[in-house]
Structure 1
Amino acid sequence: MSRDATLPPTRAAVLDEIVRSAATAFGEVGYRTATLEAIAERAGLSKVTLYRYVSSKEELLSLVVERIIDTFQQGLRRIVAERRPADATLRRIVHYQVELLAEHLPFLTVFFSEESGLPAPMAARATRAKREYDETIERVVREGVEAGLLRDLPPRLVVFGLLGMCNWLHKWYRRDGRRSPGEIADVFVSLLERGYLAEPAPSPDTGEALARLDRRLARVEAALAPARRQTPARASRTARSRNR
């Protein structure tokens, strides 16, 4: 449980604003460059008030990372609990991953770029959380392979590819860009499911060959038509001669 979940509503709201301000500051100028004074000003607080909620910049970094870990884990659990077919679950995971990254971009920038600066206990928790997250998606991939819905590829490599594609958004995504998070997720899903090769269109030679074959079949059917009309009459005469 995150720390602000145990606080009274007003204090929880203030701490939430502090953590958001810290994530933005860390994401913009880096953890080492950001100052508590700048974070307090961004949150609309004095530095003295800020110290009533956190004791150090290191603690703030831990709170930022803790927030994003909790958010990602809760969302993934909800998706997996829906018990959809594996292919549908993976589509939901890609959309969730992309849309959450876009919504919490400052948090994710900090999570991926400042992990080495975490205190040992939080670093261990982050490592454990990432492993559990990967393993959860890996189980979905295995289920899909066993059900015949997915190709028989190494599940761990599939997960690394899927998450790597999504997580790299923190390097290039901009909220004022041309594509919405949903559109980006659709492209990623299409790339994962169908690859990047275009489906080959029939060549002109192939089309002409099929047309010639159709014409030949039509001529054969026309030639056989009289024989088909005579066959019932012959069968009737044969039957009458046998009954005499």
Structure 2
Amino acid sequence: MSRKEQIEKTATALFKSKGFSATSMRDLANALGIEAASIYSHIKSKEEILQRVCFNMAREFFEAIDAVEAKEGNATDRLKRAIAAHVNVLTQNTEASAVFLHEWRHLSEPMHGTYLSLRDKYEARFREIIRSGMNNGEFTVPDEKFAALTILSSLNWIHTWYKPEGKMTPAEIAHNLTEMLLNGLTSSKQALHDTYSHLNTP
């Protein structure tokens, strides 16, 4: 691991535990066991590290969902794969995931706006899958954006409790969450079916 990579890894851990604003260059230097002045030979500022973490994570999420959409399947299959891909990215590096999800607010312009644009585009990929399922009758939900945000919000807390040595693997977590989340998308469809059947029972 290069010195720059070591600085980024240590800073990411500090950003997660202390928050970006509360982390100083001196904190970073102390954690690395070096003089604060020597850090500047590798990075310009702590925001440079924040930018690298946020946009590297964004790239990983897009690469993951691109791979999902490269495969054929109905909306249910695609959504299952999208959820699994999202979980996989989150669990590969929980510290970077936490920074990506919570510390992006400290990005300055134009990076702040770029981040928001990328987040909207990523959410739109989930909305498109859900919309496709609504159109072909797989899902019955009142609003595709609400459904997409509910799913992503449920997934994005994983970094707070996931442990590599825990009882469930990322694949098992993805499977269990998928079963619960997809049940919410399809249960309303079943409720409508049951109501319709009841009304038409002699």
Q: What's the TM-score once normalised by structure 1's chain length? A: 0.67
Offset of residue 122 of structure 1: 1.4
Offset of residue 124 of structure 1: 0.6
Measured on the aligned residues, the alpha-carbon RMSD in Å equals 2.4
Deviations 1:204-226 (A, max 9, x none): xxxxxxxxxxxxxxxxxxxxxxx
CA distance in 2, matches of 1:114, 1:74: 22
CA distance in 2, matches of 1:129, 1:40: 32
Give the length in aligned residue pairs: 185
Instruction: Write out the 4+ residue segments of structure 1 that deviate beyond 6 Å after TM superposition.
Output: none
Aligned counterpart for 2:7 among listed residues 7, 14, 18: 18
Where does structure 2 lack aligned partners over 5 or more consecutive residues?
Answer: 188-202
| Alpha-carbon contact 1:25-1:39 (below 8 Å) kept | yes
Partner residue in 1 for 2:158: 169
Equivalences for 1:111-150 in 2 at 5 Å? 111-150=100-139
Aligned counterpart for 1:60 among listed residues 49, 53, 57: 49
Partner residue in 1 for 2:167: 178
CA distance in 1, matches of 2:113, 2:34: 31
Aligned counterpart for 1:107 among listed residues 49, 73, 96: 96
* Between 145-154 and 51-60, the greater mean CA deviation after superposition: 145-154
CA gap of 1:137–1:29, structure 2 versus 1, over 3 A, is same
CA distance in 2, matches of 1:45, 1:95: 40
AA at the equivalent of 1:92: R
Partner residue in 2 for 1:74: 63
Pair 1:158 & 2:147 matched: yes
Deviations 1:188-237 (A, max 9, x none): 11112235x9xxxxxxxxxxxxxxxxxxxxxxxxxxxxxxxxxxxxxxxx
SS of 1:120's partner is coil
CA distance in 1, matches of 2:49, 2:125: 28
AA at the equivalent of 2:44: S
Partner residue in 1 for 2:178: 189
AA at the equivalent of 2:25: L
CA distance in 2, matches of 1:79, 1:14: 35
Where does structure 1 lack aligned partners over 5 or more consecutive residues?
Answer: 1-9, 198-244
CA gap of 1:183–1:174, structure 2 versus 1, over 3 A, is same
| Alpha-carbon contact 1:22-1:64 (below 8 Å) kept | no
| Alpha-carbon contact 1:64-1:107 (below 8 Å) kept | yes
Offset of residue 163 of structure 1: 0.4
| Alpha-carbon contact 2:141-2:147 (below 8 Å) kept | no
AA at the equivalent of 2:128: R
